[in-house]
Amino acid sequence: MGHVVQSSVLVAVLVLLGSAVEQNAAGAQRKTDPHMADEIIQSKVEEQLRLDDRVDWELLKVRVEQGQVTLFGKVATPEERGWAEKIAGSVPGVKGLTDLILVEPALEPDHRIRTNVRQALKNVNALQGNNTLRISVENGVVKLQGDVRGRIDEKAALRAAVSVPGVQKVISELNVVQNVPSKAEEEGPGRNPTLGGDGDRQVVP
């Protein structure tokens, strides 16, 4: 009887040890999976470019292979290209960086408009502290994206943007929400509920 009990205990221990080894092996494989690591790095690089107002992230693309980052796209000035390099290179996990970004002076007017629109939005009291607003400009057409508190704030943003010299029209893709999240809240799992009518595309000539 004693031998049977000992054998049963031994089998149970071996099963537990085997399961632990399999879990550790699976965990190690996940940690060393180069494709998974590259996807995470690419996501973080794209996020940092998107959050930095010094570059027009919509004109940029990112590729990552084994920690080596390659930047593609177009910018208006050498300074903007330099900022893109610096931002991407500062992301943890980046082992090297290749910059294939083209500087096209023809984009300079749009770059100037984007800078002036960003400043105009910062001067609107209702929008101060709003870290969600994103601006893109193409041929003088401004597109606004992000979250605002109510239609009044949305109209204030549109008025500020359309007042900038050189702006041909403003397209609003702003979301009207109950509360505009802080940067910390943006990184969390939740998102503010939207109010009725959210997501309308408005164009201001």
Question: Number of helices (H) and strands (E), helices first, in the chain?
Answer: 6, 8
Q: Measuring CA to CA, how many Å separate 182 from each of 48, 97, 121, 130, 177?
A: 16, 31, 17, 8, 13
pLDDT in tens, 141-169: 999 999 998 899 999 999 999 999 999 99
pLDDT in tens, 78-114: 999 999 999 999 999 999 999 999 998 878 888 889 8
DSSP-H helix ranges across the chain: 2-32, 34-51, 78-89, 108-122, 150-162, 183-186
User: Which pLDDT belongs to residue 77?
Assistant: 87
pTM: predicted TM-score of the whole model, two decimal places: 0.55
| Under 8 Å between Cβ of 177 and 148 | yes
pLDDT in tens, 40-70: 999 999 989 988 878 887 789 999 999 999 9
Mean pLDDT of the chain: 77
Give the mean model confidence (pLDDT) for residues 118-123.
91
> Among all chains, which residue has been given the structure tokens 């109209």?
155
- Cα separation, 104 vs 91, whole angstroms: 26
Q: Which domains does the chain have, with CATH numbers?
A: 34-103 (3.30.1340.30), 106-204 (3.30.1340.30)
Residue 177 pLDDT grade (very low, low, confident, very high; cuts 50, 70, 90): confident
Long-range Cβ contacts of 189-194 (<8 Å, 24+ apart): 192/147
| Under 8 Å between Cβ of 103 and 75 | yes
Q: Measuring CA to CA, how many Å separate 133 from each of 33, 66, 67, 196?
A: 35, 33, 30, 20
- Cα separation, 152 vs 101, whole angstroms: 39
| Under 8 Å between Cβ of 100 and 70 | yes
User: Which pLDDT belongs to residue 178?
Assistant: 73
> Among all chains, which residue has been given the structure tokens 């107002």?
53
- Cα separation, 175 vs 80, whole angstroms: 28
DSSP state of 126: G
